[in-house]
Amino acid sequence: MPPPLLAAARGRPKAEPRLRKPAESATEAPPSPPAEAAQAEAAQAPEPPQSRVRPHVPVHADAVSRLSGEDALIHRAFAPLASHEGAFGLTDDAAAIAVPPSHEVVATTDTLVAGVHFFPDDPPEAIARKALRVNLSDLAAKAADPLGFLLSIALPEGIRPEWLDAFARGLADDSKKYRIPLFGGDTVRTTGPMVISITALGTAKPGEVVRRAGAQPGDWVMVTGTIGDAALGLMLRKHLGLKALNRLGTRDKAHLTDRYLLPQPRLRLAAALRLHATAAMDISDGLAGDLAKLCAVSGVGARIETALLPLSPAAAAAIETDPRLLERVVSGGDDYEILMTVPSDDLDAFVSAATRAGVAVTAIGEITAGPGLPVLYGPDGPMKLKQMSFSHF
């Protein structure tokens, strides 16, 4: 015999629970018109009802971690990254995040798949950092400041706890470095390769977000950092065996593969972009193709002089040995540098501001009247690229 339910043992009123009939169907019923009685009741209500939401109480995280393997995993590996109060220690269904006054939210999402966007045997710390940084790079390109991120990870069978701990460690490092706390996430199983999906949230004042659409004929085309390293690093990582790459010294090779593994989101450029850029985006699929996208939405064309491209010593040495690598440099992915357009009158001020922010910027061409595909001038005239950029489709 079940004990009496809801006995008034602690002096509570003996009111019977008002049991509702379950809905006839599972579909949500359309809102019923308020019953007359309910309307009358509402009209007579002596005072506005008070919210019953209670203030913050400490979370019994240890108790949660006993409930299931998934909860234990989240608690051990990821809860330490959820330093934002509104993340509720990852013990709730959602995070509650205050946005600074007079700011809007900037939201972006990017997904990495093992065997497609990274090698399954890459260091787990680097995989985690890359997954976060490719999103931070999008925030940087829009001149937004990081607010927080959500992580969804589909794990194949056989992932060891040590792997996950290292993954979480890498994520924690960058979460701290870029001051972007974890707001929440989801951890699921897959029978296929690992899939890591991150949504990053940032903030900017209304109208401050620098868009792709905004480039004007006559603007300078500029890029941060160096171009093409990651594409060459990927070739090295794949052991494609090109002599020009294999001849490089150990330090140069390490530089290129490191650039493939670990993007450098240019978040410090935000203020300079807001003030001076007419358009910006991050270069994830390759300079040529991404510039083509920027031109398309801006309704303009562009002329690029590849002799002006900022190259690392390693990339410059490789191209000098084998000029065919230039095509890979301009169309290969994973640069995660910022491509932006700056009016001529703003050039000096923009370069000064970028320099003060510690980010190298280089003018590589100009925006032309359009619309049209960008033209890249190489040592032998306009380049004929086999493809503008990487595409999975």
Neighbours of 336 (CB within 10 A): 25
257 is in an annotated binding site: no
Closest CA to 77 of 130, 126, 125: 125
Q: Is there a binding annotation on residue 346?
A: no
Region of 122-130, 168-176, 238-246, 288-296 interacting with a second copy (CB under 8 A): 288-296
Known binding residue 250? Answer is no
Q: How far is the CB of 288 from a second copy (least distance, A)?
A: 11
282 is in an annotated binding site: yes
* Count of positions on this chain that bind a second copy (CB under 8 A): 181
Residue with the two structure tokens 């974890």: 182
Task: Establish whether 390 is an annotated binding residue.
Answer: yes
Give yes or no for residue 237 binding a second copy (CB under 8 A): no
SS3 170: helix
Distance CA 137, CA 42 (A): 52
Helices 161-177 and 124-141 cross at an angle (nearest 10°) of 30
Applying CB under 8 A, among 129, 130, 226, 334 the residue interacting with a second copy is: 226
360 with 285: CB under 8 angstroms?
Answer: no
Minimum separation from the CB atom of position 127 to a second copy (A)? 15
Put the strands of the sheet holding 279-283 in their side by side order. 279-283, 337-342, 220-224, 361-369, 300-305, 375-378, 381-382
Of the two residues 90 and 241, which places its CB atom closer to a second copy in the complex? 90
**122: number of Cβ within 10 Å:** 15
Instruction: Find the binder of a second copy among 299, 317, 321, 385 (CB under 8 A).
Output: 299
Q: Is 110 annotated as a binding residue?
A: yes
Told to check if 43 binds a second copy by CB under 8 A, we report no
Distance of closest approach, residue 298 Cβ to a second copy, in angstroms: 7
**Token digits of residue 41:** 């009741």
What letter does residue 114 receive in the DSSP assignment? B
Interface residues for a second copy in 106-145 (CB under 8 A)?
106-113, 115-117, 138-139, 141-142, 144
Which is nearer to a second copy, 93 or 243 (by Cβ)? 93
78 has binding-site annotation:
no
Query: Which amino acid, residue 389?
Result: S
DSSP 345: G
In contact, 238 and 245? CB cutoff 8 Å = no
Q: Does 352 bind a second copy (CB under 8 A)?
A: yes
**Contact residues for 307 (Cβ-Cβ < 8 A; gap 6+):** 377, 379
- Does residue 117 have a known ligand-binding role? yes
Task: Out of 292, 318, 319, 330, point to the residue binding a second copy (CB under 8 A).
Answer: 292
Tell me whether residue 138 is annotated as binding: yes
The answer to whether 158 contacts a second copy (rule: CB under 8 A) is: no
Binding to a second copy, residues 363-392 (CB under 8 A): 363, 365-366, 371, 377-379, 381-382, 388-389, 391-392
Q: How far is the CB of 96 from a second copy (least distance, A)?
A: 4
Residue 27, annotated ligand binder? no
- Nearest by Cα to 265 from 120, 144, 113: 144
| Nearby residues of 347 by Cβ (< 8 Å), 6 or more positions away | 220, 363
Residue from the set 36, 43, 46, 57 that interacts with a second copy by CB under 8 A: 57
Give the shortest CB-149-to-a second copy separation in angstroms.
9
Residues 322-351 binding a second copy (CB under 8 A) are 342-349, 351
Which x/- pattern over 195-214 shows residues binding a second copy (rule: CB under 8 A)?
A: x-x-x-xx-x-xxxxxxxxx
Provide the token pair at 379.
């040592």
Rounded CA-CA distance 86/70 in Å is 21
* 167 sits near a second copy (criterion: CB under 8 A): no
Q: Say whether residue 176 binds a second copy (CB under 8 A).
A: no
Query: d(Cα 264, Cα 266) in Å, to the nearest integer?
Result: 6
Question: Is 389 flagged in the annotation as binding?
Answer: no
Task: Based on the shown chain and the rule CB under 8 A, indicate whether residue 242 belongs to the binding site for a second copy.
Answer: no
* Least distance between a second copy and beta carbon 82 (Å): 12
Which C-beta is closer to a second copy: that of 1 or that of 241? 1
Alpha-carbon distances of 256 from 228, 232, 261, 345, 366, rounded to whole Å: 9, 6, 9, 35, 28
| CA 97 to mean position of chain CA atoms | 18
Among 124, 146, 170, 289, binds a second copy (CB under 8 A): 289
Binding-site residues for ATP, please?
A: 185-186, 212, 284
